[in-house]
Amino acid sequence: MKSRACILVSVILLVLSGCGGSDSSSIRHDFDTPEGAVLCLEDAYRAKDIEAAVRCKDFTMEATLMLQRLQTDSSGDPKILAQTAELLELGFRSEMKNSDFPDFRDIVSTFSDKNPFQGRDDIVELTEKCRHADGRTTTNKLVVAKTANGWKVVTVPD
């Protein structure tokens, strides 16, 4: 779970970065765009609302990508996929409960470099640059997937 925590923190930091592209002030905080989905997740973190944060993510897609990366024969098994997605969600909830939410106060994000992820049109990788209140900036790569319920943030295993 420790590496999962690092991934979650990285995702959060990415959301906060912002990089000479679309300023977050002009992006609707909804699931109609990849950038909007990231901003919704940031809002959930600011509100310390675990249910809202869970709604911003797609654990089934995370499980799919993880199982494909592991190149297991079970990557197409719906039961294994569902169980893996459930474990990922439980891990996320546990991490938020035990480590608290990332601090997104006073961060301004901008987005650039939206590219297909692994050649897929339904998953994109965004570059986000976060400007912190103290003037420092961080740059992160985020992955967001198009689902039946709009765009959702996914954590991709290293």
- For residue 89, count CB atoms less than 10 angstroms from its CB and return exposed for 0-12, middle for 13-18, buried for 19 or more: middle
Residue 85 corresponds to which tokens in the numbers above?
A: 């997605």
Domains of the chain: which residue ranges? 2-154
CATH 2.60.120 assigned to domain 2-154? The reply is no
* Residue of 6, 89, 93, 17 whose CA lies nearest to 49: 93
Which tens digit of pLDDT belongs to each residue from 53-97?
A: 999 999 999 999 988 888 766 667 899 999 999 999 999 999 999
User: What is the pTM assigned to this prediction?
Assistant: 0.80
Q: Residue 151 pLDDT more than 90? A: yes
3-state DSSP assignment of residue 71: coil
